[in-house]
Structure 1
């Protein structure tokens, strides 16, 4: 099922989402719950701003020295017996995956939640090879069955209700189910257990790579990643090149920042740290471990004073939960695997061309995303800079360019401004009623449909000022 509704325009996709009452209610309900839980747990935790600042400092230092920490991480990984593959592009990453799967004669693969694999469409490429892939995160499993992409970074199936989930499970399993949580969970448990036991390869993402030890840290609430990386004989890790932390001590900071920001949990249910494949004396773990480190446009942000900080992101999803735009339209309206404020910034940066160039305009620039971000990424500033770059590139509609040129001419001089206001005051009366302009004409239609547009007052502040000054002096 398509999640973009046949449109490449975020405005059209947003209009479709706004007409979906269930979607809007579901997104509101879930994001409200996550926001309130975060407020409660961070308030009890104390010194939250100090923890945010420490997280920002760690990420800033790491990204500023990313080449050093990537090299150290790689050397330590290889010293523990893992194979490291650097992928400059999505095609390079898929090529490495294909080679590993072919060498293992893989027929079945299980995956835990990974935004990087969504970014490069890993499932699609594996299915082209005739390999059966099963997502084991419950939310990801649901959207996989529906043929959709995740609509939230942390809660992929935020837009689905119990009846829809039951129907998907019945179609997949050929058995009758109720909408009771215990029945749906039991079906998923039975199905996924069979997949774990049959899998040739397990694929995971990576929350953090620890440079000093060559370790991979994974955070989950279902424990599925532990089964994915331990039961199959081969474990493949997909990792964005920026997901590095220098030390285990730094991991402690993010063991607090990530779950509290993402789901309002005091601690994550499962935090698993693995260092290389199974050793001879160990009872479990994959015998073969591959780590595919992906660039795919990330390195273009290094050294860029405007956008390097976007690489600080830890994919907690907190910015989505507070964004007034995301909370109205959900994730699929963005047309990208990364929705919300982080997606509106990141997607145009990772993808050259015009495909995502309209996403920075899907924002109110209110700054709530910055206040929510556990590492203080100034996403609202970045959105403005991306708009500036878009305009500077010349990819602006002629009508929009003409409108702003006229605006500059009319409002660039005080005399022109005053004349324009006097003319507009006379012209507004045919479309004004009860003190508001409600006409849905041309560009006004999008504004007056959801906002109040007060009529121009009889006298402007500038015209009133001399009179106010005289009265003030008289009182003196």
Structure 2
């Protein structure tokens, strides 16, 4: 077989050719049937990650250099168990292009380190719980479920649907902290009633301009040191629409 590594700076060539020992560590889901299938994956990977037709370096390693050694390590690490999960096995199709991270509003504002694992972003929110549900039980809740990640995924993984399904699993296994449970119940009642929601937003209009800043920008919260919240809109869309829908012109168009 052939090991193919795609990079933009030639790091694969340097690390594989300079040392006397080349160790290839790869997940079992990264195997493809034929060399003729490679072109599809390389173009799909580069287009989704960089918007380019191909990567700068596509390195093929088929055998060790004379006098050197080459070893292969095929990693399972829970992948076979995930394959047996009807709702979540589709995440094994991931080609690690990063398109879901580029479009995710949560990842773009929080960064990769906040996910606590090698797998970050929306794909990390559905992969990490398969390794350790208790440790990563908070990740599926770090999502707006807007579906943008699913729309841009080149291999058509239903990421936002799996995030929602993980929330159900986590709740069923009682891995949701008590405080979060109560907050979610309150949010459900608030968001489930348009009248209650609009009344709350109107009554808290002044507080919304001050309270989030007080909670984020204090010595106890490191996250807020280098991040700015967007400005609160002067009016809600519902209020704007009620004001302009009968007037026509620019406001009612």
TM-score, normalization by structure 1:
0.41
Distance 1:381 1:229, change over 3 A: same
Distance 1:224 1:394, change over 3 A: closer
> What CA deviation, in whole Å up to 9, does each residue of 1:343-401 have, x standing for no partner?
11111212x24221111111111111112111111111111011111111112233444
> What CA deviation, in whole Å up to 9, does each residue of 1:122-146 have, x standing for no partner?
xxxxxxxxxxxxxxxxxxxxxxxxx
Aligned pair partner of 2:81 in 300, 305, 308: 300
Aligned pair partner of 1:260 in 29, 47, 62: 47
CA RMSD of aligned residues (A): 3.4
CA contact (8 A) 2:100 2:123 kept: yes
| Partner of residue 247, structure 1 | 34
Distance 1:380 1:407, change over 3 A: closer
> What CA deviation, in whole Å up to 9, does each residue of 1:212-259 have, x standing for no partner?
xx2111112222312322232211011011111000111010121011
Structure 2 distance, partners of 1:320, 1:399, is 28
SS of residue paired to 2:24: strand
| Partner of residue 174, structure 2 | 394
| Partner of residue 273, structure 1 | 60
> What CA deviation, in whole Å up to 9, does each residue of 1:239-283 have, x standing for no partner?
0111110001110101210111111221112212222324xxxxx
1:222 to 2:3 alignment = no
Q: How does 1:342-353 map to 2 (within 5 A)?
A: 342-350=123-131, 352-353=132-133
Q: Which runs of 5+ in 2 are unaligned?
A: 216-228, 240-253
Distance 1:259 1:274, change over 3 A: same
| Partner of residue 371, structure 1 | 151
CA contact (8 A) 2:137 2:176 kept: no
SS of residue paired to 2:117: coil
Q: How does 1:6-25 map to 2 (within 5 A)?
A: none
| Partner of residue 439, structure 1 | 207
CA contact (8 A) 1:236 1:292 kept: yes
Q: Which runs of 5+ in 1 are unaligned?
A: 1-213, 279-283, 458-476
Structure 2 distance, partners of 1:267, 1:247, is 19
Distance 1:268 1:385, change over 3 A: same
SS of residue paired to 2:19: coil
Structure 2 distance, partners of 1:401, 1:363, is 16
SS of residue paired to 1:354: coil
CA contact (8 A) 1:437 1:455 kept: no
Q: How does 1:185-200 map to 2 (within 5 A)?
A: none
CA contact (8 A) 2:137 2:175 kept: no
Distance 1:295 1:320, change over 3 A: same
| Partner of residue 105, structure 2 | 324
Following superposition, which runs of at least 4 residues in structure 1 exceed 4 angstroms of deviation?
402-412, 440-443, 449-457
| Partner of residue 248, structure 2 | none
Distance 1:314 1:432, change over 3 A: closer
Count the aligned residue pairs. Answer: 221
TM-score, normalization by structure 2:
0.74
